[in-house]
Amino acid sequence: MTRLTAPLKLDGRLDEHIYETVPPVSDFIQMEPDGGQPATEKTEIWLAFDQQNAYVSVRAWESQPERMVVDEMRRDGNNIRQGESLGFGFDTFHDQRNAIQFEINPLGGRTDGQSVNERQYNADWTRR
């Protein structure tokens, strides 16, 4: 992760200095359909933080955008995972069992939740 001295602009442009000077995380592998094989499309991810925020910036390529399935724009919609999406989690206890998870899609659909005991998912974690 990269410590920032000022917040990033959240405009989707990825044109700040960090994207030119900090190498992205890349060379991902597939989970499906061919688990363990190299990813079929290029994806670059930057992780950064400042005094108040954590940032996950993604640049994802798609060689056949006309084949993408993306049809969920609702906040916390259950169908986000059924189409093209990107998910990530923060293991804030560093125990590899509990995490705060986030998922987004190209249309702006998003969801978040809490994962406990490795697999139990709680989508109502912030609604107390």
Sheet with 86-90, edge to edge strand ranges: 86-90, 99-104, 110-116, 120-122
Choose between 60 and 117: higher pLDDT. Answer: 60
Can you read off the two tokens belonging to residue 10? Answer: 């959240």
Q: Could you tell me if 125 and 72 lie in one domain?
A: yes
Cis peptide before 33 (omega within 30 of 0): yes
Tokens standing for 53? 């925020």
For residues 86 and 83, give the distance between their C-alpha atoms in angstroms, rounded to a whole number: 10
Asked if residue 76 and residue 37 are part of one domain, the reply reads no
Q: Which of 10-24, 58-72, 79-93, 111-125 has the lowest mean pLDDT?
A: 111-125
Same domain, 28 and 44: yes
Judgement on whether residues 75 and 53 belong to the same structural domain of the protein: no
Q: Are residues 28 and 57 in the same domain?
A: yes
Q: How far is CA 43 from CA 33, 39, 110, in A?
A: 17, 8, 19
Give the burial class of 105: count Cβ atoms within 10 A of its Cβ; 0-12 exposed, 13-18 middle, 19 or more buried.
buried
% of the chain residues with pLDDT over 90: 47
Is the pLDDT reported for residue 126 higher than 70? no
Computed over every residue of the chain, the mean pLDDT equals: 87
* Tokens of residue 55, six digits: 């940032």
Tell me which H or E stretch contains 21.
helix 18-21
Q: Is the pLDDT of residue 127 over 70?
A: no
Same domain assignment for residues 57 and 5: yes
What's the total number of domains in the chain? 2
99 lies in which domain range? 67-128
Per-residue pLDDT tens for 35-73? Answer: 999 999 999 999 999 999 999 999 999 999 888 888 877
Q: Name the pTM for this structure.
A: 0.80
Pair 55, 73 in one domain:
no
